[in-house]
Chains A and B, each alone.
Chain A
């Protein structure tokens, strides 16, 4: 008890748990962590790639254009941007249905008549991007397929996106939520096991406090500074 820093003593006092409970926590820590292996690797790589967008990670793999018959989208003549939003949403959904794609509009304001006869929409999802021009009963679709690097980045970027047209694609969002909670649980249970153990307690606490202080200081400075 003497070598325990004062700040940790109350926690250690609370942590006099029976060995069976400790074993349960260790198992949750280990197997929960193993279940998060793919999540951690993918998000770790994407974080590094966001900061280091090397040229070879940015180029698209292919750009393909094709045409298909499609009924003309509804018009929104005389309506302003907000008033025409429900009509544009309906148009976008009809185009996606016709394409058989589970992509989503890039923003909720996407989709517009770019001239008297042509409706243009832009759809995205991890790995692919579509530009669609519908005119005279025909849609011209340009699909840009990204590399595996852009797929990894976009799986991170669009982690919070729901895809109403695909339960499988939407499961990525649930996976991200569960993965986040599991990683937190793995780390917190690891901190608990570290506290009830004896090694590296002091230096670990020092690193935790220092890293936390630097992190919070940076957040504040970047927000208020220039």
Chain B
């Protein structure tokens, strides 16, 4: 059992190293974005017409617009739609396209913002969910593998430490500090204003 868990620990760490390398690097860039600020060209705007979308609700409308406008990438909706229109983004590493479709109109406003290498990394970090193209689904699959690896790495590490060390006092203290901080912050964010 010990050797099996050790193998799982080793291989999950290797997967984290390989797949999360990019996420850790891009995550660090996101946390310290001003340090890595690079100049992006100004956004460009164009108008386009859509066919046969008058009766569609938000999600089918966005899917139809993406197809008709030939915009590669993943659709993302805002938390709240602006009044009088349907707005969504089509995000592709290196390019963010905002599409605004006024209610009852087939003419749309397409705003394209190209980003530099920092933007590419940040958008790679934000590729989420299935249902895009094969490549986007592959990235989602590997981020699933990375997520599972993080959890496995943590639990197998605790098991290996428990089996290897006789005096558990300091390890239990580390675990308690780690767990208490995360749970404490969850409570703080839940109940504070």
Tell me, in angstroms, the Cα distance from A30 to B135 when the chains sit together: 36
Check A34 against B171 for contact (C-beta < 8 Å).
Answer: yes
Instruction: Tell me, rounded to whole Å, the shortest Cβ–Cβ distance linking A191 to chain B.
Output: 7
Residues 108-146 of chain B, each 1 if its beta carbon lies under 8 Å from chain A, else 0: 000000000000100010011110010110111011101
Q: Does A127 contact B (CB under 8 A)?
A: yes
The DSSP consensus for interface residues of chain B is helix
Bound Cα distance from A163 to B132, whole angstroms: 34
Q: Which residues of B contact A191 (CB under 8 A)?
A: 13-14, 17
> Interface code B49-70, partner A: CB below 8 Å = 1, 0 otherwise?
0000000000000000000000
**Residue in A34, A46, A222 whose beta carbon sits within 8 Å of that of B157 in the complex:** A34
Residue of A nearest to B128 (CB): A50
Q: B146: which A residues are within 8 A, CB to CB?
A: 47
* Cβ A214 vs Cβ B124 within 8 A: no
- A33 close to chain B: CB less than 8 A: yes
Within 8 A of A (CB), among B1-44: 6-7, 9-11, 13-19, 21-22, 24, 27-28, 30-33
Query: A30 and B161 in contact (CB under 8 A), knowing A175-B181, A223-B124?
Result: yes
Given B10, B24, B33, B130, which contacts A190 in the complex, CB threshold below 8 Å?
A: B10
How far apart sit A84 and B34, CA to CA, in the bound complex (Å)?
A: 22
Q: Give the contact-size bracket for chain B.
A: 35 or more
B75: A residues at CB distance < 8 A: none
Closest chain-B Cβ to A105's Cβ sits at a distance in Å of 13
* Complex contact B161–A41 (CB within 8 A): no
State whether the Cβ of A173 lies closer than 8 Å to any Cβ in chain B. Answer: yes
Instruction: For B144, list chain A residues within 8 Å (CB).
Output: 47-48, 51-52
Q: Which of A168, A183, A221 contacts B135 (CB 8 A)?
A: A221
At the interface, yes or no: A11 with Cβ under 8 Å from chain B? no
Collect the chain B residues with CB atoms within 8 Å of residue A177's CB.
Answer: 28, 31
Q: Contact between A47 and B143 (Cβ–Cβ < 8 Å)?
A: yes
Cα distance A223–B192 in the bound complex, in angstroms: 40
Cβ of B85 under 8 Å from chain A: no
Chain B residues closer than 8 Å to A106, beta-carbon distance: 79
Residue of B nearest to A175 (CB): B181
Q: Whole-angstrom distance between the alpha carbons of A223 and B10 in the complex?
A: 30
Interchain Cβ contacts under 8 Å between A and B, 14 examples: A30-B165, A41-B182, A44-B147, A47-B143, A50-B128, A51-B128, A51-B129, A51-B140, A99-B193, A129-B79, A180-B24, A191-B13, A219-B124, A222-B127
Q: What 4 A-B pairs are tightest by C-beta distance, nearest first?
A: A38-B182, A47-B147, A44-B150, A211-B18
